Structure 1
Amino acid sequence: MTENIPLKVVEYETFLNETLRSDLRKIFEARDKIYNQTAEYLQLKNVIERIKETDLSQDELKTKVDLGCNFYCQANVPDASKIFVRVGFGFYVEFTLEEALRFIEKKTAMLTEEANKLTKDANKVKANINIILEGLKEMQQMDVSAKKEQRNIWS
């Protein structure tokens, strides 16, 4: 039985490093992506609320648009009473400001729920990692104690 312990230790370490930690990393990446989407929607919500507060929805609006890599250009919006919002899968929908706010509330609630689910999944994977680590400690201590019994020089 003690001959199989080093082989089992290697199998569990491989499972731990190649499967569980990889799964945990993927879950964290997916959750970070959701957090970024949520932040973008909340930023849009703040912009819409500012437009409504200052009553700029009927006037022409001058703004800067990020073209990517923090490269901005000036843009003129002739009618700020409607806005295009990315709803998913590459689709944009034209909303009034009120409709956009309602959509953003629903979308952020859905994204928060999805992030919470991923957090629970990450906690399950972390628990499995801890179980494997404790099992490895126990297996290696059994292996060490078996070797100590064989090397008893006082008998």
Structure 2
Amino acid sequence: MTDITEKVHRYETFLNEKLRTDLRKVHEKRDVIYSELAEFLQLKTAIENIKETNSTNDLKTRVDLGCNFYIQANIPDSSKIFVAVGLDIYLEMTLDEASTFIEKKISKMNEHVSMLSKDLAKIKAHIKLVIEGLREIQSISSETEQEHHNLWS
């Protein structure tokens, strides 16, 4: 009986400390990528709007300083922009170069999201497997206890 209790405890520990922690970490990674992806999509839309209006000179816009606090900005030459390429590095690019870079970046980010989604599915499957194993062990132990109880009654 203590062997079964020990197994149940080991499975529960593995489930709570390993699998659920891994699930949370992968969710967090995917959320960060979704957030970055939204920013790149917003930048792509802004670039397309600049291209459509053909107004690379004297552009007026609002800039988010953080926490949705905006200020008005005047950009004298919007033919080039600075794009975050990673590791806190920004490169000056033309609008066409930026569009090309953003398309590639979005594609890579979507691949990464897909990979993380597969990892999430695997972890969820492992969680389900462990839970089913726990149910099986506990039902066997409850049946065994019931048989012992019936023998002694």
TM bracket, shorter-chain basis: over 0.9
CA RMSD of aligned residues (A): 1.3
Partner of 2:16: 17
Counterpart among 73, 76, 80 of residue 75 in structure 1 = 73
User: Is 2:131 aligned against 1:133?
Assistant: yes
Cα distance in 1 for partners of 2:17, 2:152 equals 44
List runs of 5+ in structure 2 lacking aligned partners: none
Give 3-state SS (helix, strand or coil) of 2:91's partner.
strand
Q: Which runs of 4+ in 1 moved over 4 A?
A: none
Cα distance in 2 for partners of 1:111, 1:32 equals 12
Cα distance in 1 for partners of 2:117, 2:105 equals 18
Give 3-state SS (helix, strand or coil) of 1:129's partner.
helix
List runs of 5+ in structure 1 lacking aligned partners: none
Task: Percent identity, please.
Answer: 55
- How many aligned positions are there? 153
**Structure with the bigger percentage of helix:** 2
* TM-score, length-scaled by structure 1: 0.95
User: Is 2:16 aligned against 1:34?
Assistant: no
How far 1:18 moved relative to its partner?
Answer: 1.2
User: Is 2:141 aligned against 1:150?
Assistant: no
Deviations 1:82-112 (A, max 9, x none): 1100000000001100110000000000000
Partner of 1:100: 98
- The letter for the 1-side match of 2:130 is I
- The letter for the 2-side match of 1:103 is F
Cα distance in 2 for partners of 1:135, 1:68 equals 48
Cα distance in 2 for partners of 1:146, 1:28 equals 40
How far 1:154 moved relative to its partner?
Answer: 9.6
Cα distance in 2 for partners of 1:93, 1:147 equals 69
Give 3-state SS (helix, strand or coil) of 1:68's partner.
coil
Partner of 2:2: 3
Cα distance in 2 for partners of 1:40, 1:139 equals 48
Counterpart among 81, 84, 90 of residue 86 in structure 1 = 84
Cα distance in 2 for partners of 1:117, 1:136 equals 29
